[in-house]
Amino acid sequence: MHDELAQMQKLKLNGFCCSSIIIAMGLKLRGEENEQFVNAAKLLCHGMFSGLNCGALTGAVCTLGLFEDHDTEMAKDLVFWFQHELCAKYGSINCSDITGDNPYNKAVICPVLIRETYLHVKQLLAENGYIAGDDQE
């Protein structure tokens, strides 16, 4: 997991954001790269640049779709977990509500949301047999 966190930090330093980081990491789980898709996912960041749904969530849903685009249960599980567990203390899954549009909050909160969301995606994929679950934390 340490290597994955380092990869996520490197992506962030290279200008990637919440959704594009999660999608790039999901592609890596598949042994693939798709620069065009990852770049397109940047438009999901910062709540689609409107403060709406957190880009970590929208990127994670897209990542699940890379493995199985008909398994709506995984997406439903992810959204429920994100809303009722990870973001419950913010009272919303919207970027602007989570961060208050404050750059400091974005710097502190967003990396945690990205990491935890990515780990949950991996957990869901392992539980559903899409990836090996031997390196779960």
Per-residue pLDDT, 71: 74
The pLDDT tens digits of the residues spanning 56-113 come to 999 999 999 999 878 799 999 999 999 999 999 999 999 999 999 999 999 999 999 9
Split at pLDDT 50, 70, 90, the class of 134 is low
What's this model's pTM, rounded to 2 decimal places?
0.92
pLDDT of 4 higher than 50: yes
Does residue 136 surpass a pLDDT of 50? no
Q: For 40-50, what is the mean pLDDT?
A: 94
For the chain, give every domain's residue range.
Answer: 2-126
- Give 46: exposed, middle or buried? Use CB within 10 Å, 0-12, 13-18, 19+: buried
Bigger pLDDT: 29 or 137?
29
